[in-house]
Amino acid sequence: MSILIGRLEFEGPFIDPQDIRPESGIYGIICQVGEELELIDLDETHCLRDCLESNEYADNTRFYAETCRGRLSAVVHYTPDLSAFERSEIKHELLSELNQTDPEPEHVH
C-alpha cells in the first residue's frame, strides 16, 4: 500500500521494522483510527530499519501513544541516492507543504 504525504509516496504502514529495508530514507509515524490516518512525526535517517528498531524510537513511541488513540505505525520513503542534507531538505519541504513545524530536533535519526 502507498500513502501520499505532500508530494511523496510512502510505503506502508508498517508495524514491524523487520519489514522495512535497511536503507536511507524519510519516515513518517502515523496514527490510524479506523480509516483515518494522521501524521504525527516526520524525519529522515541513514538507515530506516535501524532507526525504527532503536531504543530511542521505542521511547518516542511511548510519547506518541499518549496522543494517538488508535494504532501507531510507520510509513517510509526510501532515498538510497540522497545525502543526509538532501533528505533533511525534503523533510522540511514536506513539513512546510503540510503547514507543520519540525517537531523536536533531537528525534531519532
pLDDT tens per residue, range 38-77: 999 999 999 999 998 887 777 777 788 888 888 999 999 9
Question: Residue 102, Cα to own-chain centre: how many angstroms?
Answer: 12
Q: Which of 4, 79, 31 is nearest to 89 (CA)?
A: 79
Mean pLDDT of the 72-98 span: 94
Entry field: residues in the chain: 109
Handedness of CA 50, 54, 56, 61 (dihedral sign): positive
Strand arrangement of the beta sheet that strand 8-14 belongs to: 2-5, 8-14, 71-78, 25-33, 36-45
Q: pTM for the whole thing?
A: 0.84
